[in-house]
């Protein structure tokens, strides 16, 4: 039987076709959002992951999903407007709610536990750099880039393709910066490993930081690997 995936596919395309692959990618620390343009074979080689074993697991999960008839939205088949609505209502709304809460938690554990765990100062710094970057980023997307994409889809041609492409390039660069900060935060915390003296706030902060990371991976994936390529295709054909 021919398998669905053989390793030659781009990492971002795999998660687009089969969203369930995202959890497997995260378990193996494979970046499918900012690093979504690499082939799976390239990503596996870079990480030193056994190709045969990984493909067996990936294709097994895909078969199970099909057998259970799990249906996920294929965002490549929806309009850009629908995808933008989903991104804003789901991922942007999540960040606007969670970032202020996490700011309080990260600040509290640094102040209370910082003497015993000096790495918390670096975590506090990286988180707040990311928070500031994301708050600017969300506003830029909603006020500038997304309206340009919506207008282009309605009219069938970009009103100012060069302006939109420039804005999109800037957003992608910022995605890379956020991705780097997320990686640094994971390294600083040794994969969010809790110390023995962790209090409830410490535990909650680390759990929420991991949830934030997972949401950001999905968020960036949808923009870098689905929404932006759609718009580039429209610009190229106009």
- Taking only the tens place, the pLDDT of each residue in 8-25 is 999 988 988 887 788 888
Question: What is the chain's Cα-based Rg?
Answer: 19
Cα-to-chain-centroid distance, residue 112: 31
pTM value?
0.77
Band of the pLDDT at 68, cuts 50, 70, 90? low
Band of the pLDDT at 26, cuts 50, 70, 90? confident
CB atoms within 10 A of CB 44: 21
User: Is 70 exceeded by the pLDDT of residue 72?
Assistant: no
Residue closest to 124 by CA, chosen among 29, 198, 202, 193: 202
Domain ranges for the chain, please list them. 11-67, 76-237
- Calpha distance 189→55 (Å, rounded): 30
User: Is 80 exceeded by the pLDDT of residue 158?
Assistant: no
CB atoms within 10 A of CB 3: 13
Dihedral angle sign, alpha carbons of residues 47, 206, 175, 225: positive
Cα-to-chain-centroid distance, residue 101: 20
143-160 residues labelled b (16+ CB within 10 A) or e (exposed): eebbebbeebbeeeebee
For residues 213 and 182, the answer to whether their CB atoms sit within 8 Å is yes
């Amino acid at each position: 039987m021919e398998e669905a995936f053989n390793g030659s596919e781009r990492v971002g395309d795999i998660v687009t076709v089969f969203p369930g692959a995202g959890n497997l990618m995260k378990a193996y620390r494979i970046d499918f959002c900012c690093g979504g343009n690499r082939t799976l074979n390239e990503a596996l080689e870079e990480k030193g992951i056994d190709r045969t074993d990984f493909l067996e697991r990936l294709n097994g999960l895909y078969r199970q999903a099909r057998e259970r008839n799990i249906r996920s939205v294929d965002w490549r088949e929806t309009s850009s407007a629908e995808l933008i609505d989903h991104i804003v209502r789901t991922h942007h709304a999540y960040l606007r709610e969670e970032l202020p809460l996490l700011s309080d938690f990260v600040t509290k554990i640094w102040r209370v536990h910082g003497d015993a765990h000096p790495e918390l100062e670096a975590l506090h710094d990286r988180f707040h750099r990311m928070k500031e970057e994301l708050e600017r980023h969300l506003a830029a997307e909603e006020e500038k880039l997304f309206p340009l994409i919506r207008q282009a889809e309605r009219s069938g041609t970009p009103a100012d393709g060069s302006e939109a492409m420039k804005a999109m390039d800037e957003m992608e660069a910022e995605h890379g910066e956020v991705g780097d900060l997320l990686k640094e935060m994971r390294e600083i915390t040794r994969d969010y490993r809790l110390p023995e003296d962790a209090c409830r706030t410490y535990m909650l902060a680390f759990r929420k930081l991991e949830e934030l990371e997972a949401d950001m991976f999905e968020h960036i994936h949808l923009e870098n690997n689905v929404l932006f390529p759609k718009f580039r295709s429209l610009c190229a054909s106009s």
